[in-house]
Amino acid sequence: MEPTLFWILAGLSVVSGVIAVTRRNPLSSALALAIALVAVAGLFAMLDAHLLFILQILVYAGAIVVLIVFVIMMLNLGPEDLEPMRIQPLKFGLAALVSAAACGGTLLWIRDMPSLSAPVTPGFGTASEVSKVLFGPMLLGFEIVGLILLVGILGAVVLAKKED
Amino acid sequence: MGAITLGHYVGLAVVLFFIGTVGVLGRKNALIVFMSIELQLNAVNLAFAAFARAHLKMDAHALVFFVIAVAAVEAAVGLAILVSIFRRRETVDLDDMTALNE
């Protein structure tokens, strides 16, 4: 059961990821990206990362994709604004080649990695356990994230404001 | 189909990351480059979660939390920049945004 579910989710995320980076219309890309993100959320659930599963759905598949779709709608790109599919064969081919080599190298390296069959410790991945780390050793980082969010909000408002 | 190991998850994360890399390097539409970056960040998150599960330590979950928060901020600011560039120059094509190297 679990291997089957893993392969379904992995295939879904890879296929929709490929669709997301190859579509000409950004709206199709955004919808494919949403599917990929939901598939990764499912993988988080399989890894017993309950809080991350919820955050992934809420923040990524919810907020970020909705924001991207919103901006695509707002820009209202006509067919003439979309790039003609001028993929530079040299650059694209080089990127694909390097990527394939790196993927192949890693796939060899990861062949003998530990299995994930060990039972989880009680409370693994729940909000309370993550909070014990967030408010313990990583408290400074947590505070800085709050600051970054504030700066981000102000920056986005200032940047997107109409001048004059 | 054997049992799923840590290697399967890390391999999937690597594949997703490089799909994103090809999108970042090969595409010219700023919006799609943007989405490719999100895909890359997500692949890294998946690797973090897989290693956390393998070592049964929660620290990586906190790191994923940070990555998600920074990705959200980056989305807001990046899209705001795109909107203001589009308002001024009527384009989202990266080849037309060359003011800094002229």
Q: For residue B39, give the amino acid letter.
A: L
The reported pLDDT for the residue numbered B85 is 86
SS (H, E, C) A91-127: HHHHHHHHHHHHHHHHHHHCCCCCECCCCCCCCCCCH
Ranges A116-130, B3-17, B32-46: which has the least confidence: A116-130
Q: The pTM is what? A: 0.88
CB contact under 8 A, B72 and A152: yes
Helix (H) or strand (E) holding B27, with range, is none
Range B11-23 average pLDDT:
89
What is the rounded distance in angstroms from the CA atom of residue A69 to the CA atom of residue A65? 6
Q: Which of B7, B10, B19 sits opposite A21 (nearest CB)?
A: B19
CB contact under 8 A, A134 and B25: no
> Number of A:B CB contacts under 8 A?
255
The reported pLDDT for the residue numbered B11 is 86
The reported pLDDT for the residue numbered B68 is 92
CB contact under 8 A, A114 and B5: yes
The reported pLDDT for the residue numbered A84 is 63
Q: Which of B21, B50, B77 sits opposite A47 (nearest CB)?
A: B50
Task: State the ipTM, two decimals.
Answer: 0.90
The reported pLDDT for the residue numbered B74 is 92
The reported pLDDT for the residue numbered B84 is 87
pLDDT by residue (tens digit) across A100-133? 888 788 777 777 677 777 777 777 878 888 888 8
Question: Residues of chain A whose pLDDT is less than 50?
Answer: none
